Amino acid sequence: MSVFCAEVETGKETPCDYTSGNWVQDKLGPLYNGTTCATIKKGQNCITHGRPDLGYLFWRWKPKQCHIPRFEPNTFLQILSNKHIAFVGDSMARNQLESLLCMLATVSPPNLVYTDGEENKFRRWHFSSHNVSVSVYWSPFLVKGIEKSQDGPNYNKLYLDQVNERWAADMGQMDMIVLSVGHWFLHPAVYFEGDSVLGCHYCPGLSHSEIGFYDVLRKAIKTTLKTIIERRVANANGNGVNVIVTTFSPAHFEGEWDKAGACAKTKPYMEGEKQLEGMDAEMRQLEVEEVEAAKANGKKFAGFRLQALDVTKLSLMRPDGHPGPYMNPFPFADRVQERVQNDCVHWCLPGPIDTWNEIMLEVLNKWNNQGR
């Protein structure tokens, strides 16, 4: 995955493989903190929840070939002027969205103009300084899905040949779509194509064949990208659409989720210390492959740009960046507890996830320069 980053020594632009690199110490730290940004979800506000070590804030991702600049919020807003960017997916999509909102809010206040659904799963903000709209759509499968509930079956139902219209119905208003899913595909589910059951994942007691979730995730991404091309590019009279697919973000549980020290590391892994393998590698690989296939299919259409935001490896190297027990305020205020809920999946804000948006801005800069 290459973007054009500025070489430090020459000032020239050169293709940069930003997936290969190291985390290096950075004295500047983040653009915002837990009190200056009002849109951080409480569970990711590690600073105000009393996390005692703040060293995790002072690292930057350094690709081997080049330098990724610090996020420049004015540049991002200028590129997206008069446009609508929508984050579609699960709680990792929301995590990335809230990181972006915090960084943009350092130069322009976001106004919440729409909210709907429990836990505000559908929200939209407006930056009046540049007439930019930023939305989040809860859609943990991208395709049509019925989530398990206390009143119904204890498994999800996924319809792999149909996108979820809760977000897709608004596709015509979206100039840029950021897709991010993965973790919900690990849950028990039954899979449908049309009226036929394809199989299931972890469904004891049902008569369906166990087919796992890798091919299912692949089909969901394939259906989503195909539908975007059909609706927003092939049959559109407008300016097309830009699409980013954020790759799988690994969890870092090193013990039980409810035991102290589930993700207790305070520093990044160094290059070579942790390998990308197993499920993390599989999830990333199939997402990248589907993006490349959709790119090939979309080449004949003007106004369609697609890129995988390949953050799996650089995220794998940050076991220190999760809330852990600090998903709740001051979890050890009374005494050190043996059992305490940990979040080793989502990312502290500010934290490593801010880097995802720095790289995304580099992608936008590249697209913007190509357009000119």
Q: How do the domains of the chain map onto residue ranges?
A: 29-371
**pLDDT value of residue 339:** 84
CB count, 10 Å around CB of 166? 17
Q: Report the alpha-carbon distance of residue 111 to residue 125 in Å, rounded.
A: 5
**pLDDT value of residue 6:** 46
User: Is 322 a catalytic site residue?
Assistant: no
Catalytic residue among 91, 99, 133, 180: 91
Percent of the chain with pLDDT over 90: 79
43-47, 127-131, 224-228, 257-261: least confident range: 257-261
SS3 state at 233: helix
Q: Report the alpha-carbon distance of residue 114 to residue 104 in Å, rounded.
A: 18
Catalytic residue among 175, 280, 320, 343: 343
45-59, 257-271, 304-318: least confident range: 257-271
Residue 314: CA atoms inside 13 Å, Cβ hemisphere, count? Answer: 29
pLDDT range class, residue 7, cuts 50, 70, 90: very low
Residues 6+ away with beta carbon under 8 Å from 346? 43, 44, 91, 92, 95, 322, 323, 327
Q: Report the alpha-carbon distance of residue 352 to residue 348 in Å, rounded.
A: 8
- Please indicate whether residue 239 or residue 115 has the higher confidence score (pLDDT): 115
pLDDT range class, residue 119, cuts 50, 70, 90: confident
SS3 state at 343: strand
Runs of H (alpha helix) within 200-344: 214-228, 278-298, 312-316
**pLDDT value of residue 13:** 57
> Under CATH, what is the fold of the domain 29-371?
Rossmann fold (3.40.50)
Query: How many residues are recorded in the chain?
Result: 372
Overall pTM surpassing 0.85 (yes/no): yes
pLDDT range class, residue 118, cuts 50, 70, 90: confident
Q: What is the mean pLDDT of the chain?
A: 92
pLDDT (tens digit, 9 = 90+) per residue, 14-35?
Answer: 678 999 999 999 999 999 998 8
**pLDDT value of residue 100:** 98
Does the structure show a pLDDT above 80 at 275? yes
> C-alpha angle 117/118/123, rounded to 5°?
50
User: Is 126 a catalytic site residue?
Assistant: no
- When pLDDT is averaged across residues 114-134 and rounded to a whole number, the result is 95
- When pLDDT is averaged across residues 318-326 and rounded to a whole number, the result is 97
pLDDT (tens digit, 9 = 90+) per residue, 350-365?
Answer: 999 999 999 999 999 9
User: Is 187 a catalytic site residue?
Assistant: no
- Cβ distance 358 to 70 under 8 Å? yes
pLDDT (tens digit, 9 = 90+) per residue, 153-182?
Answer: 889 999 999 999 999 999 999 999 999 999
Residues 6+ away with beta carbon under 8 Å from 154? 148, 188
Does the structure show a pLDDT above 80 at 286? yes
Nearest to 312 by CA among 350, 351, 279, 290: 279
Does the structure show a pLDDT above 70 at 10? no
Nearest to 249 by CA among 220, 285, 274, 280: 280
Q: What angle do the packed helices 278-298 and 214-228 form, to 10 degrees?
A: 20
Structure tokens at 136: 């989040």
